[in-house]
Amino acid sequence: MSSHPTSRTLMLVVAHPDDDAFGIAGSVALHGDEPVFRFVLIHATDGAAGQIAPEVDATPATLGVVRRLEAQRAWKAHGRVPDRHVWLGYDDGALARADFGALVSTIRSLLLDERPDVVFTFGPDGITGHPDHIVVGHATDVAFASLAGDGGRGLKRLLHAAIKQSAWERINRARIRAGMSPWDPTLVYHFRGIPDELIDIRVDTRAVVEHVVDGIAEHRSQRLSLFEGPVTRQTWLSIASREYFVQAWPPRERGLPLLKDIFEGLE
Return the pLDDT at 231: 66
Handedness of CA 46, 48, 49, 50 (dihedral sign): positive
pLDDT tens string 191-203: 999 999 999 999 9
Return the pLDDT at 2: 43
Low-confidence ranges of the chain (pLDDT < 70): 1-5, 227-231
Return the pLDDT at 21: 83
Return the pLDDT at 230: 60
- List the one residue out of 46, 52, 50, 39 whose CA is nearest residue 14: 46
> Could you tell me if 59 and 49 are in contact, meaning their C-beta atoms sit under 8 angstroms apart?
no
Return the pLDDT at 33: 95
Q: What structural domains does the chain harbor?
A: 8-163+197-249 (3.40.50.10320)
Return the pLDDT at 162: 94
CA distance 184 to 91: 27
> Could you tell me if 194 and 23 are in contact, meaning their C-beta atoms sit under 8 angstroms apart?
no
Return the pLDDT at 239: 84
